Amino acid sequence: MTLHNLIFGLAQAGHHVEVVAPSGSLHVGELVHQVDGVPQMSSQMRGREAPVELPADSVLANMWSRAADLQEQFDIIVNLAYDWLPLYLTRHFRTPVVHLVSMGSLNDVMDAAFSELAQRFPGRLAVHSKAQADTFDDPSIFQVLGNGIVTERYDLQISLWPQAALGFVGRLSPEKGLEDVAELSSRTGRPVRVWGVLQDEEYWNRVVADHPDARLEYQGFVPTDQLQAELGECAALVMTPKWVEAFGNVAVEAMATGVPVITYGRGGPAEIVVDGVTGFVTAPDDIDALAVAVGRIDEIDRRRCRERVDAEYSTAAMARRVTGWLDEVLRISADALV
């Protein structure tokens, strides 16, 4: 989603963007250079002390080989992969490479690579939220850019059925904290419509078994157009992350349809929601506070939710922030050559 929405915004602003991606990727932008190879293991699934590993015929290495071949055709290269190899290769490219980081501090090797790159190439690193930057030892090495969505794809919904369901959107895995939403449903009697990839079926079954009074209604993983239509019917989106969310795209998606967001004060979602205006920010892990917020949800003007997205989290707003960052990197790079 970040890739698609960023390219949409940059293209709308008149920039030419091409993508290097693994074979089989969806087509985004003007041209996608499809690259074969073996996928990289996700860094978020590994521990802090895990070493750097590349599989044989690594698609990541093959993608960066293609980027090296293409680099003279472009002013700048934006890396979205949370991996060590692109950070290391930055010094070997003639065309400036910048990194939009999607995760917080997860791995010691990655953290060291970020620090070294920041010393060598100041200004080349960016994140989506201040909370994400704050997970690192030196948050100042990152630009904070937020994120954006194609607001034209989201319909503002004002009228709701009485006692409309709450919503939950995200991977069904422990770091998303679905058990707290289940407990909230048990306490309030409100149904919760759940959308997302069933990443950890054992976890889902455990949450359901541990909360027999919860009214959880699993809706599956659905396309954006269907999600926005169904999510817009909810009274509120509830976000209860157990880790520091780097941003929280689903909060912006919900607000674009007029749905207020109730979130823990942990990670990026707490920076998106204006407490008492577009939803409520509660103390982390405080289910009583969640229940109080649910009781106050009718105080929120759903139009204000959409207005905040249009102003701060549209693709146009995101593109302005990103191009400002890229222009500064190019200026510094040009000065270094003088």
Return d(Cα 63, Cα 33) in angstroms, integer. Answer: 9
Confidence of residue 335 (pLDDT cuts 50, 70, 90): confident
pLDDT over threshold 60, residue 338: no
Question: Tell me: the pLDDT tens digits for 25-39?
Answer: 988 888 999 999 999
Q: What is the pLDDT of residue 27?
A: 84
Report the mean per-residue pLDDT for the chain: 95
Q: Are 141 and 118 in contact (CB under 8 A)?
A: yes
Instruction: Provide φ and ψ at 239, rounded to 5°.
Output: -125, 120
Q: Is the pLDDT of residue 123 over 90?
A: yes
pLDDT(337) > 70: no
202-237 b/e (C-beta count within 10 Å ≥ 16 → b): ebbeebeeebeebbbeebeeeeeeebbebbbbbbbb
Give me the mean pLDDT over the 168-177 stretch: 94
| Cα-based distances in Å from 313 to 138, 262, 306, 318 | 26, 18, 10, 6
Residues of the chain with CATH 3.40.50.2000: 2-148+314-337, 151-312
Looking at 3.40.50.720, 3.40.50.2000, 1.10.260.40, 3.40.190.10, the CATH number of the domain 151-312 comes to 3.40.50.2000
CATH class of 2-148+314-337: alpha beta
Residue 45 reports pLDDT greater than 70: no
pTM of the predicted model as reported, rounded to 2 decimal places:
0.90
Q: pLDDT tens digit string along 267-314?
A: 999 999 999 999 999 999 999 999 999 999 999 999 999 999 999 999
Please measure the distance between the N-terminal and C-terminal CA atoms of the chain and give it in whole angstroms.
38
Residues of the chain with pLDDT > 70, as a percent, come to: 99
Number of alpha carbons in the 13 Å side-chain half-sphere of residue 144: 14
Tell me the one-letter amino acid at 232: G
Assigned token pair, 17: 């963007």
pLDDT at residue 224 above 70? Answer: yes
Tell me, what's the pLDDT at 336? Answer: 75
Res 231 pLDDT > 80: yes
